[in-house]
Structure 1
Amino acid sequence: MDIFERHLVLFERKDGLPQIRVLKLPISVDMMQRVCSDVLPLPKGVCSITPGLNQDYSSSVLRLSISSPIMPEALLDCDLSSKEFAVLQQNEVVCSLIHKAKEKRLKTEISSEQDHDAPNVCRSQACDSTENEVLDLSEMYALEHVKVASHDMVEVPLTIVYSRDLKMEGKSPALLTGYGAYGESLDMKWCADSLSLLDRGWVLAFAHVRGGGELGKAWHDSGRLLKKLNSMHDFLACGEFLVKRGFCHRDFLTARGVSAGGLLVAASIHMQAALFLAVILKVPFLDIGNTMLDENLSLTVSEYEEWGNPENKETFNYIRSYTPYDNLKKAVQYPHMLTLSSFQDTRVGYWEAAKWTARIREYTSVNTNKLTLLKTDMNSGHFTESGRYLHIEDTAFEYAFLLKMVENSTHKIAD
């Protein structure tokens, strides 16, 4: 929420997607009756909204940034009175993609009417254009929002991104990402790194499972404490949907989870290990059973609200039913696994990833061709190093792992 002298700005979510509502101050009874119609007309396809500082109380201009998996982040000023936007800046890195998208549009359009009605490839000042538009790469990449029925028939939002050159014949690899904790919504901002996979024919999917904040507090409450298993069921339902609907090959589904998202992915593979070819667990919360019993750790007591206090017998037994480390079993073919930890991590101990990897190797050392890797960064913390090139190196390492696992699996299928 942002408060100005003459306007109240509310940042909301509807069906899991962000929106902005503006109310004139002071608020009258008539104004409250019209409140539902006061939503700002944002550019189509926005998945992430970040408010600016907006420190000038007397101003009538709201500064914010918007983006999506196919919309590079744009900095906007919005006139709260007229509800008109002005594009101040947009990511310059992808300017070459604009020209590529425009060329593709010109080649595929066969009439001026089609040209008028075609999806927008918008421009911004950052790309040497005077037109006040926001760049949208929907000419090259598709963005879909669907609902997936979970085990209890609750509909779970799933966002799917893929190249428009891709033929949906059930032959593509896919990367499914999830988080589902603390009432936090899954990050749906623009990330240029993802183009590397999209242009290689990958499908990227984001599972907005229960425990997150996409659908409000009730959505969070239905995926925490004694309802945490709903998160895992939701994640698996999204994975199965991708396979059944032909978005990916049944042998090429991969998954990635960070921190509490690592717990989500790791617990999910216990329930259905054969669904995934490979998984990436980054600074993952894998030993929740033992961690929540140690009150000397920095975050244990404050985490009771999310996971519960295992001093309570019912809570203890419930946590034990899904904690990844304690549920590892012998003679199970787990997916290829890359576990990434940070030695200086004060939120999730590096030893959790080490214990996890050691036990998997012990339990699966015989009759397995699955790769189990552990990489520990000795210098970074929970949020890893922030340098530009270090981030690129980390992402390249993760993508190389995924690409290699799919390549090896492809050769086996061909043989």
Structure 2
Amino acid sequence: MSNSIQPPKAKIIPKQLEKHGHIRTDNYYWLNERDNPEVIDYLNKENEYYQQSTAHTKEFQKTLFDEMKARIKEDDQSVPYLYNGYYYITRFEKGKDYPIYARKKGSLESKEEILFDCNQLAKEHAYFQMVGLSVSDDNQWISFGIDTVSRRQYTIQIKNLITGEILPTKLENTTGSATWAADNKTLFYTTKDETTLRSDTIYKHKLGSNPSGDAIVYHEKDETFDVSVFKSKSRKYIFITSDSTMTTEYRMLLSEQPDSKVKVFQKRTRGLEYSVSHFEDHFYIITNKDKATNFKLMKSTLDKTSKDNWVDEIPHREDVLLEDIDIFREYLVVSERSDGLNTIRIINWKTKKEYYLPFESQTYSAYTTTNLDFDTEILRYGFQSLATPSSVIDFNMKTKEKNILKEQEVLGGKFDKNNYTEERFWATASDGTKVPISIVHKKGISKNGKNPLLLYAYGSYGMTMDCHFSTVRLSLLDRGFIYAIAHVRGGEDLGREWYENGKLLKKKNTFTDFIDCSQFLIANNYTSAKHLYAEGGSAGGLLMGAILNMAPNLYNGVIAQVPFVDVVTTMLDDSIPLTTGEYDEWGNPNVKKYYNYMLSYSPYDNVVAQNYPNIYIATGLHDSQVQYWEPAKWVAKLRVFKTDSNQLYLDTNMDAGHGGASGRFEAIKEIAKEFSFLLDLEGIKS
């Protein structure tokens, strides 16, 4: 990098922020003025600085992109699934970025009916996302949501599948998903608050009517709750859910009676979480009732749904997390998590005989997929590991025969999963807790402390970081990198308590777990501080910000994607999307003890004069989850405080939001940037 290229300096406009008698000075608060030309100018200057400083890697980025793209089967398609008389297929064509959605009536030999070619629909847009395809029971109508800005505010439209006409009706500012009632003309959908983007209202639209007259079915007044609507697998009930981090409430009505009054299933009780499935004469409820921390399965009759009437079907277990169920006519399939690993348990309703699907690896993920039919002995599930491409498998629950329908192809002829080693270790955290680490690398590496190693983690919202296969990751592995996942507290990898011990006033366990995993890998000579890299996005970007302040000497480089780093200011601003619904995750800083605790780790507030490693930060101007100004302010402050000459880049996609670029190949270009950043630091040029 040429020393003549100087980074931009954001101007300082001090703003005092006071809370609980404590005053903070934010010199870059002005950067949240999205429509201010000076803000756009600053972001563009940071982009120019990044582009100029990394110009020497441009060819390599292209090489990486071409290499990663070449592994992808471009003319690929999903495994068809049968629903209500039609086989549904998603496919891609060579050279095209977006999916084509299609169906075939009755048989895979039937003529293909194209529902949508997203390549055509995306032509006029820098960003394009289609979600929420929902077909009416008579197979005549399909609703769909489109976002062309990347703020996850979708416009729902309706297509007549007989005539091919897209109706002029537009349902604006929605979540994108919708549910048809059994009359094939009533559509339930969810809208968002225009400012906070909280999904807060369920509407009912009648085909052919003006959306301005759509009736409100339910409005959620509590700002800490989101709402959604869906149909039961039995297609008998429409369910409306109100969800916060710690509390759930379901409402329901019969799909055949869309204009009937909505009934509460079990009224909200602080701390009571539950989800509902319907099968024959019962509702089946996954819940934490009766202090069932890891959840249990209960059931109720159709007419008595309050919690006093729930009875145990599968009791609570201290060491097994119950995650989900799939109901079939003869079998109950239970998705569980034990010792940090997925398990799939199959129970015969009549005989109560049961067994688990066998999985041998310790760095895998297994999950049930599209199982829409009650009347079948076939369970469809997916399997993959860090070194094993993903497979879609049909499993006969009666005969136990397995049919692999599809294994992800890795093109190019060079990939052989036997060339890679997968391992799982347990690092000891500073408080004695054992934290699992999953690792993959090429066979034959030496444990000499000189291997470049990329350590990834997330660690929030109880999201588990299961081991998945990645074709793009091969570009690092084949150049000598080790890839590792730290399954830190704050996720739900080892059960519900694992999550509880990494949130609110225990949030710092997430950060210290990651640091302890880093030290474990160094102590065991997998790598050294000269060759260790860290990566995380969104709440995982918060993790990156925290470790940069707490242990900057452990890493040579850090990648933070759309990082949530200005924790206190954001959580005090209830006009920002998603803030109020997050109080149960981070705490409410309007309460002093939470304010003080957040302030003690908030990355932006804790930047100090010290050496920082090389840092690459990516964000999107239209991000609705983490606003662009958080990373922008963070970088501006780091530029003033850091005492080193290491690289610091802010790369803002001026067209995209939280998920980055749309289109499968555009997304790879962003990964190529990240990989070139890492490989350049290692002196790997090809």
| TM-score above 0.5 | yes
State the aligned residue count: 361
CA–CA distance in 2 between the matches of 1:175 and 1:46?
16
What is residue 389 of structure 1 aligned with on the other side? 665
How far is 1:288 from its partner?
0.9
Give CA deviations for 1:118-168 in whole Å, capped at 9, x if unaligned. Answer: xxxxxxxxxxxxxxxxxxx1x211111111100100000111111103222
| TM-superposed deviation, 1:51 | 2.2
1:325-377, Cα deviation, whole Å (9 max, x unpaired) = 000012x001110010011101100000100000000112xx52111100000
Picking from 253, 271, 295, the partner of 2:550 is 271
Counterpart of 1:173 in structure 2 is: 452
**Alpha-carbon displacement from aligned partner over 1:301-340 (angstroms, at most 9, x marks no partner):** 100111010111101100011110000012x001110010
Identify the structure with the greater helix proportion.
1
Q: How does 1:10-409 map to 2 (within 5 A)?
A: 10-26=334-350, 28=352, 31=353, 38-42=355-359, 44-45=361-362, 47-94=364-411, 96-97=413-414, 101=416, 137=417, 139-330=418-609, 332-364=610-642, 367-407=643-683
How far apart are residue 181 of structure 1 and its match?
Answer: 0.4
**Residue 94 of structure 1, CA deviation:** 4.3
C-alpha displacement of 1:46: 5.8
Give the drift of 1:4: 0.3
Percent identity between matched residues is: 38
The alignment partner of 1:71 has SS state of coil
After TM superposition, give the deviation of residue 214 of structure 1 in Å: 0.5
1:379–1:50 CA distance, 2 compared to 1 (3 A): farther
Structure-2 residue corresponding to 1:8: 332
Deviations 1:7-44, CA, capped at 9 Å, x for gaps? 1111111211111111110364xx4xxx5xx2111354
Shift of 1:298: 1.7
Q: For residue 108 of structure 1, what is the aligned residue in structure 2?
A: none
Contact 2:343 2:356 in 1 (8 A): yes
Distance (Å, rounded) in 2 between the aligned partners of 1:168 and 1:252: 13
**TM-score of the two chains, using structure 1 as the length reference:** 0.84
TM-aligned CA deviation for residue 66 of structure 1: 1.1
Deviation at 1:45, TM superposition (A): 4.9
Unaligned runs of 5+ in 2: 1-324
State how far apart, in whole Å, the 1-side matches of 2:528 and 2:607 are. 26
Distance 1:94 1:70, change over 3 A: farther
Helix, strand or coil for the counterpart of 1:290? helix
Distance 1:362 1:46, change over 3 A: closer
Q: In 2 relative to 1, CA 349–183 (structure 1 residues): closer, same or farther, beyond 3 Å?
A: same
Give the letter for the 1:23 counterpart.
Answer: I
Q: Deviations over 1:189-239 (max 9, x none)?
A: 111111111111111110000000111111000000000000011000100
Partners of 1:172 and 1:247 within 8 A in 2: yes
Determine helix, strand or coil for the equivalent of 2:390: strand
Matched residue of 1:289: which SS? helix
Out of 159-168 and 303-312, give the one that drifted further.
159-168
| 5+ long unaligned stretches in structure 1 | 102-136, 411-415
Q: Distance in 1 between matches of 2:536 and 2:363?
A: 23
CA root-mean-square deviation: 1.6
Shift of 1:384: 1.3
Q: Describe the SS at the equivalent of 1:143.
A: strand
Give 1:177 deviation, angstroms: 0.4
- Farther-moved stretch of structure 1 (241-250 vs 44-53): 44-53
Indicate if the aligned counterparts of 2:612 and 2:644 stay in contact, CA closer than 8 A.
Answer: no
Structure 1 stretches of at least 4 aligned residues deviating more than 6 Å after TM superposition:
none
1:85 CA displacement: 1.4
Q: 1:54 to 1:273 in 2, by over 3 A?
A: same
AA aligned opposite 1:21? R
Work out whether residues 568 and 598 of structure 2, in 8 Å CA contact, stay in contact via their aligned partners in 1.
yes
How far, CA to CA, are the matches of 1:264 and 1:73 in structure 2? 28
Name the CA distance, whole Å, in 2 between partners of 1:407 and 1:92.
31
Q: Which is greater in Rg?
A: 2
Quote the offset at 1:187 in angstroms: 4.3
- What letter corresponds to residue 441 of structure 2 in structure 1? Y
Partner of 1:305, secondary structure, is helix
Instruction: Give the Cα–Cα distance (whole angstroms) in 2 for the partners of residues 353 and 10 of structure 1.
Output: 41
What is the alpha-carbon distance in structure 2 between the residues aligned to residue 295 and residue 48 of structure 1?
37
Deviation of 1:95 (Å): 7.0
